[in-house]
Amino acid sequence: QVRLSESGGGSAQAGGSLTLTCVASGGAYECMGWFRANEGPLREGVAVLGRGGSTEYADSVKDRFTISEDKAEQSLHLRMDNLQPEDSGRYYCAGAPLPSEKRCTMAFLRHVGAWGRGTQVSVSA
């Protein structure tokens, strides 16, 4: 079973930057992404990365966040620039196998993904 482990969370001031990392051990997923939760169980999709480098971003983070992968290290990264207080929350890495007929989207990954335990991000004004 593939295990996902997140790191890189912390505190930042508005306008600052953080980079989150998710390491997959025991295998790899063709569809991976980041979700976040503020208060409560609902997880908001942030960004996903699929086969062939396809990406999807939430409107609220477009042009500020960048998702990327390092296949050699089986890791997924989320570079977050120009952070805002509303970006605060617990960030979760998710991953899933991707059937050939499916696209890697937040909607797909939310329902079938395996999850890490998350890393906390706090942004102050």
Check residue 9 and give its pLDDT: 98
How many helices (H) does the chain have, and how many strands (E)?
Answer: 1, 11
pLDDT averages per 10-residue partition of the chain, 125 residues: 95 98 93 93 94 95 97 94 97 95 94 94 98
Q: For 51, which DSSP code?
A: G
Check residue 85 and give its pLDDT: 97
Check residue 109 and give its pLDDT: 95
Q: For 44, which DSSP code?
A: E
The three-class DSSP label of residue 79 is strand
Residues in the chain: 125
Check residue 3 and give its pLDDT: 94
